[in-house]
């Protein structure tokens, strides 16, 4: 602690000691003069820049640096490391959650695409089945209509044949009556109907 004693304190202490011991002050007058001169010389210099204080300053600097290093090592660095660890774990958890959500989204998209393809395939099969069913139904209806038309055509032909036969019979009868009437007019008597009918039949054939 002696090296932290200021020159002013040394100057004040010198007169006090001189009051207590007058004889010693007179004997050391020359030494007091030198001390006073050195004190006056030291008043104009800033203490931290004084070379005699360098060892203590270096010592306190080393102590302060050591305490600061221990503070950083024991308090600051563990807290910073803990914060970094928590953030790293949180980021890793977020990345894992994002990867899980991405996998779920990919699975949902794949399932949707699969269902869409199945629905398209089913719709195509249903459409093809409907077309085949409509085609088969149309073919069956066509056959039924053709049968009905054939039956009606056969009936029409039969009726036409019957009407034609009846008409021909009537034509023959009319021709026979007409021929008999003509013969009677020409001959002036009764005509032979059997002979006239045979003649008309022969002419008709």
Q: What is the pLDDT of residues 111-162, one digit of tens each?
A: 999 999 999 998 989 988 898 989 898 988 888 998 888 888 888 888 888 8
Q: What's the Cα-to-Cα distance from 100 to each of 45, 108, 140, rounded to whole Å?
A: 72, 12, 59
Residue 173 exposure: Cα atoms within 13 Å on the Cβ side: 6
Alpha carbons within 13 angstroms on the beta-carbon side of residue 167 total 6
Domain boundaries, the chain: 2-67, 169-204
Check pLDDT > 70 for residue 60: yes
Which string of DSSP letters, residue by residue, matches 5-31?
A: --HHHHHHHHHHHHHH-HHHHHHTHHH
Task: Give dist(CA 194, CA 205) in Å, integer.
Answer: 16
pLDDT band at 200 (very low <50, low <70, confident <90, very high): low
**Measured between alpha carbons, how far is residue 119 from residues 83, 114, 115, 127, 140 in Å?**
53, 9, 6, 12, 31
Helices (H) and strands (E) in the chain, counts: 6, 0
Q: And the tokens for 184?
A: 């009677």
Its pTM stands at 0.34
Confidence band, pLDDT 50/70/90 cuts, at residue 50: confident
| CA neighbor of 181 nearest in space, from 199, 189, 171, 168 | 189
């Amino acid at each position: 602690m002696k090296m932290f004693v200021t020159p002013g304190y040394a100057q004040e202490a010198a007169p006090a000691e001189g009051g207590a011991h007058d004889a010693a002050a007179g004997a050391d007058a020359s030494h007091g003069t030198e001390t006073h001169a050195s004190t006056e010389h030291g008043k104009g210099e800033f203490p931290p820049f004084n070379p005699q204080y360098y060892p203590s300053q270096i010592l306190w600097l080393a102590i302060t640096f050591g305490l600061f290093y221990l503070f950083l090592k024991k308090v600051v660095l563990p807290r910073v490391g803990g914060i970094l660890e928590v953030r790293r774990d949180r980021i890793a958890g977020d990345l894992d959650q994002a990867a899980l959500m991405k996998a779920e989204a990919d699975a949902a998209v794949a399932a949707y695409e699969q269902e869409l393809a199945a629905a398209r395939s089913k719709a195509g099969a249903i459409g093809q089945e409907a077309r085949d069913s409509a085609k088969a139904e149309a073919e069956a209806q066509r056959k039924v209509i053709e049968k009905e038309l054939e039956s009606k055509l056969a009936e029409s032909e039969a009726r036409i044949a019957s009407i034609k036969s009846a008409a021909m019979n009537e034509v023959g009868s009319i021709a026979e009556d007409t021929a008999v009437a003509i013969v009677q007019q020409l001959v002036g008597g009764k005509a032979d109907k059997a002979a006239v009918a045979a003649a008309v039949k022969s002419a008709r054939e």
